[in-house]
Amino acid sequence: DGGITQSPKYLFRKEGQNVTLSCEQNLNHDAMYWYRQDPGQGLRLIYYSQIVNDFQKGDIAEGYSVSREKKESFPLTVTSAQKNPTAFYLCASRVDSLDYGYTFGSGTRLTVV
């Protein structure tokens, strides 16, 4: 079945460490997105990519980096510059057509230890 796979499900980061969250989709979707969710809050957009080798900053991009070398993959790196990275991270994708919808992954919960 087609879908979005995020890994790992749980991730622990030490202070000053960079970590990378994986997001892979086999839906042949063009656009991919990363959202951050803090407890009791809505989702905020970190980065998004409409096509391979191109991406744009969202509302809270500071301390994060992404790449889009393949259509299926959109990894997110949480750098040491992100001072409060503990959150739930959701990846999403969207097909580029008139009748489009978003598909969300199952999420990665990142905790700083």
**Interface residues toward other proteins, by CB under 8 A:** 31, 33, 35, 40-45, 48, 50, 56, 58, 88, 90, 92, 94, 100-102, 104-107, 109
Q: Give the closest residue to 105 by CA, choosing from 76, 78, 80.
A: 76
H helices, E strands: number in the chain = 0, 11
The residue (of 50 and 80) whose beta carbon lies closer to other proteins is 50
The residue (of 17 and 38) whose beta carbon lies closer to other proteins is 38
| In the complex, least distance from residue 80 CB atom to other proteins, rounded to whole angstroms | 27
Angstrom distance (rounded) from CA 84 to CA 103: 27
| In the complex, least distance from residue 104 CB atom to other proteins, rounded to whole angstroms | 5
Q: Is 13 exposed, middle or buried (0-12, 13-18, 19+ CB in 10 A)?
A: middle
The residue (of 1 and 15) whose beta carbon lies closer to other proteins is 1
